[in-house]
Each structure stands twice: as structure tokens, then as C-alpha cells.
Amino acid sequence: MKISLEQQKRCSFYVFGLLLSGKIQRYRIGDERTIDVLTRP
């Protein structure tokens, strides 16, 4: 599924906010890119 740059930006900000608030441990973007909060400093 292709997403536009605008959507990607919005998604990134949303994910970043979640990371900062510590609400999630892992968040998937697309199919192969995964942000793993537990393993990233």
C-alpha cells in the first residue's frame, strides 16, 4: 500500500508522540519498516 508523503509525515509525528508518551512498545510503518522502542536508545 502506497502512502503519500503528507500521510507519512503525519504518521511519523503521531508515532513520535506515542514514543515520547511511552504509550507503545512497537509500532509498524508499512510492511518492512518497524520501529522497536525497546531496542532503540
DSSP 23: -
Of 2, 1, 11, 3, nearest in space to 35 by CA? 11
pTM of the model: 0.33
pLDDT-derived band at 5, boundaries 50, 70, 90: confident
Does residue 22 fall inside a structural domain? yes
Read off the pLDDT of residues 20-41 as tens digits, 9 standing for 90 and up: 766 555 555 544 555 555 555 5
Instruction: From residue 30, give the alpha-carbon distance in Å to each of 11, 27, 41.
Output: 11, 10, 22
Whether residue 41 is contained in a domain is answered as no
Q: Is the pLDDT of residue 19 over 50?
A: yes
CA distance 27 to 2: 18
Is residue 17 over pLDDT 60? yes
Residue 17 grid coordinates: 508522540
Count how many domains the chain has: 1
Domain that holds residue 20: 5-36
Interacting residues of 15 by C-beta distance below 8 A, sequence separation 6+: 27, 29, 35
